[in-house]
Amino acid sequence: MRPNVCLITLDQFRADCLGAAGHPLVRTPTLDRLAADGVRFTHHFSNCAPCAPGRASLLTGLWQMNHRVTDNGAPLADHLPTLPAALRSLGYRPTLFGYTDTTYDPATLAPRAPELTAWEQPMRGFDIGVHLDDLVGPWLEWLAEEGVDVPEHYFDIYDPAPVEVPPGRGATWAPPVYDADHTESAFITRNALDWLGRTLASDGGAADGAPWCAHLSYLRPHPPYVVPAPYNDLFDPADVPEPVRRADPAAEAELHPFLAGALGVVPSPPDRLDQDQLRATYYGMIAEVDHQLGVFLDGLDALGQRDDTLVIVTSDHGEQLGDHWLVEKLGFFDQSYRIPLIVRWPGMAGGAGRVVDAFTENVDVVPTILDVCGGKAPEFCDGASLRPFLDGDLAGPSTPEGWRDAVHTEYDFRMPTTTAIEAVYGLRQDQCAVSVLRDRRGKYVQFAGDLPPLFFDLEDDPGELVDRASDPTRTADVLDYAQRLLRLRMEHTDPRLANHRATPGGPVHRADPPRPGPVTAAGGA
């Protein structure tokens, strides 16, 4: 029997901010419980940032080099395969609660179509339960119905309430005007549970045995850095861990010209109390969305759906959170790309509570869901099904034979609306790109254009503070990683029609072996 499917994304959620991962402060009882009931992947990575590129990879199974969504507002080509379209072909009706950060392909629209003026559309193939566009209109309408004084400009809803910030608390401590029962998270949870109840009771719906499919896309802990009581006061700034960074922003900028520019765009707060408070507020935002996730999963149980539902929780990218004197997500540091992945599938044979330390990527989510649901990922998918880990023997090897021994991430920082980025770095638009190969030993960062590469020895320097690319004793390592990255990109370059030929006897098509194969013959242990 095919399972129900529930894909949940928590926006801008870094991997270390889990109780189950050993964080000293963060409280995530719901996610910890889900991990205890399922499988937690400890070396899971988003393939690109920010939101739109990250979600494009998550929902297509393609690396950025193949889907070419380069930023928020960059269109997703209409001919590319997507998870909702694939699930529809299997008889599912995937329903969206939240957003996918999709911009439509201009080739499919009239020149003056209104969709071309908004960068956040729902990905085609989803039914709409609730769509939170870039103006979060449905949420604001609900707040108004609930008696909240909604400001004229939507973003002002995140302004702090007129309260005095107590001693020992920083700028982002102040809560908003809405309470914890009226967050965006609460709104998505409420609507998803209402929809599920109706679906289970409807004629021709899940009540008749047809599996349901929902994508819950929560906004938090994405900025703005604000959260209602009691979550704003849940963590003391004095207790937060020290940021990982060089002595000061000037020293950080010396690491690489890219960072010198980035520090002028998304710097962490200069005041130490405000920096620590930002971390404490972020942890509170995590606690708030974890609570609402618990409400949803408890509702799932109450409706009798637990034993028939595949639940996957991940994120679109991470958050710098003051590490390297940066906030938000960009570039190449692990904080921006290493994210949680928890899978609970009642059909898994590997046992609950398993922890997998193999390298996995968000492009693996599409083939995993399709595999569990009786489908098959497109041949040119850049990811691979995680089912071997779900079906694996706890006493067996940690990875199946031939699994990847490194991860590949990308960041494209072109800006078609302005030439400012090119002016800062002296690059053409098509040179504003970063490609990264990262294994357990090291990380190699390749820039397009004339910006120099970086190489970090992760065994000696897990914080990525010392560039060894120009160290003559590491020349062989740098060359090895550069060659591996080049081979990897060559092997994965858009293969949709590459293995097809017209012959006198008719068309011939021979598929490549399943992905992912080993990145190197020797492996990057």
Task: Tell me the C-alpha to C-alpha distance, in Å, between residue 357 and each of 68, 254, 405, 440.
Answer: 29, 33, 11, 11
Task: Let me know: does 428 contact 422? Beta carbons within 8 Å.
Answer: yes
**Is residue 504 in a domain?**
yes
Range of the domain at 213: 4-391
Count Cα neighbours of 352 within 13 Å in the Cβ-side half-sphere: 11
Q: Are residue 420 and residue 292 in the same domain, yes or no? A: no
Structure tokens at 384: 């691979």
Task: For residue 150, give the CATH number of its domain.
Answer: 3.40.720.10
The pLDDT of residue 205 = 56
| Residue 325 DSSP label | G
Q: Are residues 354 and 483 in the same domain?
A: no
Rounded to 10 degrees, what is the CA torsion of 507, 513, 515, 517? Answer: -140
Final residue belonging to a domain, choices 391, 424, 457: 391
Task: Work out the number of other CB atoms within 10 angstroms of the CB of residue 58.
Answer: 27
Instruction: Give the closest residue to 291 by CA, choosing from 185, 174, 194.
Output: 185
Residue whose C-alpha is closest to residue 40's, from 350, 306, 354: 354
Report pLDDT digits (tens) over 19-32.
Answer: 999 999 999 999 99
Q: What sign has the CA pseudo-torsion 522, 479, 381, 494?
A: negative
Backbone conformation region of residue 235, classed left if phi is above 0, alpha if psi is from -120 to 50, else beta = beta
Instruction: Let me know whether 380 and 412 are in one domain.
Output: no
Residues 357 and 211 reside in one and the same domain: yes
Q: Which residues pair with 326 in a beta bridge?
A: 267
- Domain count for the chain: 2
Q: Does residue 514 fall inside a structural domain?
A: no
Active site residue 51: yes
Kindly state whether residue 401 falls inside one of the protein's structural domains.
no
What pLDDT is stored for residue 221 in this prediction? 98
Residue 401 has what pLDDT?
82
Q: Is the same domain home to 378 and 451? A: no
At 485, give phi and psi (nearest 5°). Answer: -65, -45
**CA-to-CA distance for 361 and 392, rounded, in angstroms?**
18
* 398 is a domain residue: no
Q: Are 382 and 462 in a shared domain?
A: no
The answer to the question of residue 443 being in a domain is: yes
Predicted local confidence at residue 518, as pLDDT? 46
482: domain CATH number?
3.30.1120.10
Does 420 reside within a domain?
A: yes
Considering the domain architecture, whether residues 34 and 151 belong to the same structural domain is answered as yes
Catalytic residue (one of 48, 51, 373, 432): 51
Q: Is residue 92 domain-shared with residue 53, that is, in the same domain?
A: yes
Per-residue pLDDT of the chain (525 residues), as tens digits, is: 899 999 999 999 999 999 999 999 999 999 999 999 999 999 999 999 999 999 999 999 999 999 999 999 999 999 999 999 999 999 999 999 999 999 999 999 999 999 888 888 999 999 999 999 888 999 999 999 999 999 999 999 999 999 999 999 999 999 999 999 999 999 999 999 999 999 999 855 555 568 999 999 999 999 999 999 999 999 999 999 999 999 999 999 999 999 999 999 999 999 999 999 999 999 999 999 999 999 999 999 999 999 999 999 999 999 999 999 999 999 999 999 999 999 999 888 878 999 999 999 999 999 999 999 999 998 889 999 999 999 875 445 567 888 999 999 999 999 999 999 999 999 999 999 999 999 999 999 999 999 999 999 999 999 999 999 999 999 999 999 999 999 999 999 988 889 999 999 999 999 887 777 544 433 333
Task: Specify the pLDDT at position 63.
Answer: 98
DSSP secondary structure code for residue 131 in this structure: E
Tell me whether residue 250 is in a domain.
yes
Residue 167 shares a structural domain with residue 248: yes
Do 357 and 483 sit in the same domain of this protein?
A: no
Q: Residues 376, 449: one domain?
A: no
Could you tell me if residue 193 is inside a domain? yes
Q: Choose the final residue of a domain: 391, 422, 455.
A: 391
Q: What pLDDT does 519 receive?
A: 46
How far is CA 408 from each of CA 411, 419, 487, 516, rounded to the nearest angstrom? 11, 28, 12, 11
Nearest CA among 85, 45, 4, 128 for reference residue 365: 45
In SS3 terms, 395-430 reads as: CCCCCCCCCCCCEEEEEECCCCCCCHHHHHHCCCHH
d(CA 512, CA 509): 10
| Per-residue pLDDT reduced to its tens digit, 236-246 | 999 999 999 99
Residues 212 and 296 in one domain: yes
Residue 521's pLDDT is what? 35
